[in-house]
Amino acid sequence: MQTNDFLQRILVTKAEELLDKKKQHPLTLLRKQAESPEIRTQRRDFIGALRNKVKANQAAVIAEMKKASPSKGILRADFSPEKIAPRYAEQGAACLSVLTDTAYFQGTQHHLEQARAACSLPVLRKDFLIDEYHIYEAAAWGADCILLIASALDTTHLQALEDLAQELGMAVLVEIHHRHELDAALRLRTPLIGINNRNLHTFMVTLETTIDLLPYIPSERLVITASGILKPADVHYMRSHDVHTFLVGEAMMRAPDPGAELARLFS
């Protein structure tokens, strides 16, 4: 898929999908599932898992699973979350990220559930979430953390969705790309600031996006760099700038053994 405004297209798709979802599975039923004590007590500490790695002077890796991407097509034809997740855990990942968007990434709810059941790592639901329905959905599926994209939501909406996620016991990772998005992100309570080195409007990738934003981020926040981490030199470059938390997927998805590739990247 070639486009200079991918984000806008996917948000339109999400809004359309949402109408169908609400008809098929009413919010009242979903909310009951999401708020059940059984699910809440099984929530894993996403933020703690990252901080523990950083405190141990290790790279804190959110290892991603995605079958495809809109810009690269199929990344991994033999896609088995239940096999990949344990390999990530064995090779030192702190957390998992699982794509659940179907239209553009060929992800599903079951991919998240399979990955989480296969290991003890906390799991991020990686998707384009725009409504409280999506937050309840993530909680019902067992997600430990959700992604909120600052360029997709205004500040009031970001705060409302963060409040709901935290009420349901989930952590929040807010993704930014520009300085003005950082201003909105810093109004949230979450310490997790994800910097996407890929511009979602143009697909252009540069690691300097993270470096340029670092001076404006308070030290108590945890910076997570994402996209463009493809070789050990990229990891070294980020760590030399005191960035120790990474969200990486594409490089591992293309490798015969994703776990071995994670170990190679962060050795």
List per-block mean pLDDT (blocks of 10 residues) for the chain, which spans 267 residues.
70 96 95 94 97 98 95 91 98 98 96 98 98 98 98 96 98 96 97 92 87 97 96 97 96 95 95
Please tell me the CATH code under which domain 6-265 is placed.
Answer: 3.20.20.70
Quick one: pLDDT at residue 2?
43
Quick one: pLDDT at residue 71?
80
Quick one: pLDDT at residue 3?
44
Quick one: pLDDT at residue 203?
75
Quick one: pLDDT at residue 199?
79
Q: What are phi and psi of 61, to 5 degrees?
A: -105, 125
Quick one: pLDDT at residue 235?
97
Q: Is 74 exposed, middle or buried (0-12, 13-18, 19+ CB in 10 A)?
A: exposed
Quick one: pLDDT at residue 1?
37
Domain boundaries, the chain: 6-265
Quick one: pLDDT at residue 204?
83
Quick one: pLDDT at residue 32?
96
Cα angle 226, 259, 197 (rounded to 5 degrees) comes to 10
Cα dihedral: 120, 122, 128, 132 (round 10)? 110
What is the gyration radius of the CA atoms in the chain, in angstroms? 17
152 within 8 A of 178, measured Cβ to Cβ: no
